[in-house]
Amino acid sequence: MRILDIFAKCHESSLVDEVRERGIYPYFHALESRQDTEVIMEGKRRIMLGSNNYLGLTAHPAVVEAGIEAIRTYGSGCSGSRFLNGTLKLHLELEAELARFLRKEAVVTFSTGFQSNLGIISAIVGRGDYIIMDRENHASLYDGCRLSLGKMLRYKHGDMTDLEQKLRAVPENVGSLIVTDGVFSMSGDIANLPEICRLARAYGARVMVDDAHGLGVIGEGGRGTASYFGLEDEVDIYMGTFSKSLASLGGYMAASERVVDYVRHASRPFIFSASITPASCATALAALRILAEHPELPETLQARARYMREKLRGAQIRIRESNGEQIPIIPIYTYQAIPTLTIAKELYDRGVYVNSSLPPATAPTECLLRTSLMATHTEALIDEAVDVIAQVLRAHRIGE
């Protein structure tokens, strides 16, 4: 009897092998400095245009000191789940302050943002329930749907007519949850929450927003997408991360007290995972307090995003347009995979770090360089980076 070696797939030729051979492999570059607007990466200074450190707080002295003090007080880890021995006073403080900031009754924290979506959706969506998803939602939302026992329906990105058709297809007397990114991580689009909430009311669905890229970016004082539209009372569940604007690691769910308490006791990814480390918890809390005390930070970030868009357009660089001019995610069209990776490597060699976006994250002929900004980027740094990007793109005849 012949049995196929399960490792056979690991030895098949792939795009990864090809780009390594070409010397344009874009992943796992090693940082040798703090995550900041300028970094040392593999021995050379690079302008960082590939980080989600939107408010630039990873290097803030108060955030760094909070992490150091937490390790002194609590040690390096909790060695258990929140459900048992892994709850610190710090966790409770973070959850309470974040709930107040987001104007929700309660918050529960998870060890990562990805785990948050797994834990929320798998707990809330049961057998026979329906999840209605935007096609461009983050991978963690898709995996949360797979982990649940519900049926997933996908609607075309931002297409409210298609969303309504999917809602009409949901059988009567079953639960349904509309799930969307607030700010889409690849395009920088802002979800049409007013229409999503209207349709949810009309069809008896609940609404969950993944606001990983919305917190600290839009809304009153950086409170996110629901706040941006004045719909804080109509979005049932917010999910977010600490690894972006809050300069740490972890994730959260914000909702009513009853829903949060249910998830605490029903979510397997929450119950069976170790809790956020003391340092991660303390740094997220310090960053949250800075955001709460400095509502001008998101405004500065938005101004930088508008400035860079103007500079790119002025240089005749084709960007993927979105409905959010103030969003710090700015994708630049490079079209094909190999040219995209080649351009990214040349930019890297010339001191500008950007992220390459390839299929399946994009259509095969719509590959992108995904750039992202921090509130701490200066206009001079943006000017320098855009000049390099324009020179490299012109050399490759991109945009002509």
DSSP string, 335-388: ESHHHHHHHHHHHHHTTEE-EEE-TTSS-TT-EEEEEE--TT--HHHHHHHHHH
Is the preceding omega at residue 360 within 30 degrees of 0, hence cis?
yes
By DSSP bridging, strand 237-241 and strand 367-372 are unpaired
Tokens matching residue 325: 């001019």
Q: Which of 111, 116, 122, 185 does the annotation list as catalytic?
A: 185
Tokens matching residue 142: 């898709």
Q: Which of 244, 311, 345, 377 does the annotation list as catalytic?
A: 244
Active site residue 185: yes
Active site residue 156: no
Distances (CA, A) of 267 to 124, 175, 299, 309, 377: 8, 18, 36, 41, 39
By DSSP bridging, strand 206-210 and strand 237-241 are parallel
Sequence-distant contacts of 143-152: CB under 8 A, at least 24 apart:
143/114, 143/117, 143/118, 144/117, 144/118, 144/119, 144/120, 145/121, 145/179, 147/118, 147/121, 147/122, 147/269, 148/121, 148/122, 148/124, 149/125, 150/125, 150/126, 150/177
Q: Which of 104, 213, 311, 345 does the annotation list as catalytic?
A: 213
The catalytic residue positions are: 185, 213, 244
